[in-house]
Structure 1
Amino acid sequence: KDVLPEDANAAFAKLQDDAPVHSVLHTRRCLEHLVDTLPWPVRASAAADAGVDMSDRDGILRHIFPQIDDTPLASGSVAQVHRAQMRAMFYHPMGGYASRSTTTPTVPVVLKVRHPRVRERIEGDFALLIQIVSLFVYAFPASTFFRSLEQALAQFAERLSLQADLRQEAQNLLRFHRHFREWRGTVTAPQPLLGFERCDDVLVETYERGESVGKWIAEMKSSSVNASTEEGESLEPCHPLGPSVVGRGADTYLKMLLSDRFVHGDLH
């Protein structure tokens, strides 16, 4: 916020959870692809329980997820998320612990669905940037700056393209849970569900309730406590939970940076 104008900050902030949504039709096509990637035992069990043929992707999908919200819970730059109800028999979190009781017939989950042509757009944009930099490399062959920039762009393009593969995100989540297994109750993250982590454009996760830091800060003043110095000078309002949240956030970042060397870049 100290670098860009306020209107630019507001526009970029929308990429976190208020980006344009894609169509319900695209979501349904991706969910059918999810069924195609299910392990054979899961797909066979769902088909048998539903009384449908193994080739009936819609029937299998409706049996596993009796309810899927068409309206997204949020939409980011790469994917949007839908709340859904999953039959408890298919609910097996992979993070090493159950996030909730499964005594009910269904369990709330989240379906993360990638936007159409995201990977192609990322690769196309970076290909164009690399071509432009290549022209400068050709024009200034003695310059090490442009050669380094060309290599950095190629590496960044590869990394960013991986971020659009939700199978990679599932593996990253599992690694994150391994690093923070001793911090349960303090730091949490969605867990991929066993058998539903093999699709590149859909990821099924546990539903974790929470509030974004941005919204929390915006609402902080409504329940803030006014404070003043010993000299009577007024201080900014302070939320009672502020020091706790800041302390945990700082500890989390330091652990990721200095100990794990593996950073979750979307903390909120």
Structure 2
Amino acid sequence: MREHGRTRRLLGLGMRTGGALLGSRLGRETDWRTLGEALFEGLSELKGPAMKLAQIMAQWDDLLPPDLADELARLQRQAEPMPWPKIREALVAHYGELDSVFEEIEPTPFASASMGQVHRATTRQGDRVVLKVQYPGLAEVLESDLAQVRRMMRLGRWLKVPQVRLDALFEELAESLRGELDYRAEARALARYRERYTACDWLVIPEPLEALCGPHVLAMRYVPGTPLRELEAAPDDLRQKMATHLADWLTEELFTYGELHADPHAGNFACDTEGRMVVYDLGAVIPVPAARLKTMLELLDATLAQDPLGMDEAMRRLGGRQGEGAPLALYREAAEAVAPLFVPGPQNFGDVRIHRRLRELSPRVWAALDRLQPPADTLLLSRTLNGHYWNLVRLGARLNMYERSQPLLGWARSL
């Protein structure tokens, strides 16, 4: 599709979405399922930044209408792949004659996403590898796509999201997407993580093959595994092992290395035959300064103490709540909703009562955004953590969050 055609298509999807949001604000009944189907079909074909944004939004299960969230979630597992001839052209542009490098490349991808798709291959030396291939022409249309995404995000004004915060959030997302276009950077991240966790016997990071990598093709050794999204029917002991691995890894990343995997959709994680966690995609990793972690833990501390004034003060230290009129009643309800996950003993992340309460609270959070004014970096961080939370929900995790959080809260109080 030519660039002006993409722009027109994205603009049409944005206008349709905006009309649905406005109608909902005015009290009109909205067919979220039909809107979701239209977004799935359009974005699955167009791919690129808008599809990536929709995939991110699909992780925000507690904020979106269920029918819309269900349709957007399909973009994470059923996105239409790009035809093989176009992908082959991209591989030839990078490698030259493919037969001189590969014994075989499977034409059917086993994974397709917003920015590229993944094909299994065998090298002439007999190595089993996977090739992550960026969609041809994506770099050329990125900036025009981002301009349309910015227009879509301005629809958030109807949800009382301050424009300055929307603009800052857009810049965070745009910088991340621009970084994801350089697959050499992801190859370096894979190498860094492999060195970081070389002594960890329950975590697997695929090895990048530097000689076969380039700006638009990432080659890694093939590591088979069952994607996290397919583990919901797995034996309970395996799901609990994976949930523990994921929680331990996130804690290590945040509090030892000051980073966070910022693309938490379930296809990026898997379980291998030995019960180890495999992390396939490191295209999006964000830094998390210790000062930011400390303030977020202070907010959690005040929340668990059911102290609305303390919660408001922590929000201000985070850079939000710059206006007047602290929503103390909302703070109280949020504290009551979160508290059950942090009482002593193992807590069931699959408890539907907790999800129902959080979902019921979401409209009130949206309505108070003009007073809460969360800073963009914290909003992106919190939504990323929310995506990891829902992965734990999918696993039916039973974790002792009280035991896990106490040392971290003590760390924050000591600083």
Question: How would you bin the TM-score normalised by the shorter chain?
Answer: 0.5 to 0.7
Q: Determine whether 1:150 maps to 2:187.
A: no
Instruction: Determine the C-alpha separation between the residues in 1 that align with 2:202 and 2:75.
Output: 27
Counterpart of 2:99 in structure 1 is: 62
* Deviation string, structure 1 residues 168-208 (Cα, Å, up to 9, x no partner): 2212212222222221x3111222102122x2221111101
Give the Cα–Cα distance (whole angstroms) in 2 for the partners of residues 192 and 254 of structure 1: 25
Out of 196, 203, 221, the residue aligned to residue 206 of structure 1 is 221
RMSD after superposition: 2.7
Structure with bigger helix share is 2
Report deviation, 1:130.
4.5
Following TM superposition, by how much is the alpha carbon of 1:131 offset from its aligned partner in structure 2, in angstroms? 6.6
1:118 corresponds to which of 132, 135, 138: 138
Secondary structure (helix, strand or coil) at the match of 1:66 reads: strand
Of 76-85 and 117-126, more deviation after overlay is shown by 117-126
1:32 aligns with 2:32: no
State the distance in 1 between where 2:247 and 2:153 align.
Answer: 37
- Structure 1 position 109 matched with structure 2 position 102: no
Output the amino acid matched with 2:121.
A
**Letter matched to residue 212 of structure 1:** P
* Secondary structure class of the residue paired with 1:263: strand
Matches within 5 A, 1:75-90: 75-88=112-125
Q: Secondary structure at the residue paired with 2:184?
A: helix
The question of whether the paired residues in 2 share the 8 Å contact of 1:22 and 1:116 is answered with no
Counterpart code for 1:70: P
For the 8 Å contact 1:133–1:146, the answer to whether it is kept is: no
Is the contact made by 2:182 and 2:216 (CA closer than 8 Å) also made in structure 1?
Answer: yes
Q: Equivalences for 1:169-208 in 2 at 5 Å?
A: 169-183=186-200, 185-197=201-213, 199-208=214-223
Aligned partner of 1:21 in structure 2 is: 81
Q: Deviations over 1:106-158 (max 9, x none)?
A: 12111111123333444223224547889xxxxxxxxxx43443244224212
Counterpart-to-counterpart distance in 2, 1:150 and 1:242: 39
For residues 117 and 17 of structure 1, do their structure 2 counterparts lie closer, same or farther at Cα, with a shift above 3 Å needed? farther
Identity of aligned residues (%): 28
What is the TM-score with the length of structure 2 in the denominator? 0.44
TM-superposed deviation, 1:65: 0.4
After TM superposition, where is structure 1 displaced by more than 4 Å over at least 4 residues in a row?
A: 129-134
**Structure 1 alignment gaps of length 5 or more:** 36-56, 89-105, 135-144, 225-238
Q: Which runs of 5+ in 2 are unaligned?
A: 1-60, 155-161, 271-415
1:18: Cα distance to partner? 2.6
- In structure 2, what is the Cα distance between the partners aligned to 1:132 and 1:214? 29
SS in 2 for 1:85: strand
The alignment covers a number of residue pairs equal to 201
Distance 2:133 2:112 in 1: 9
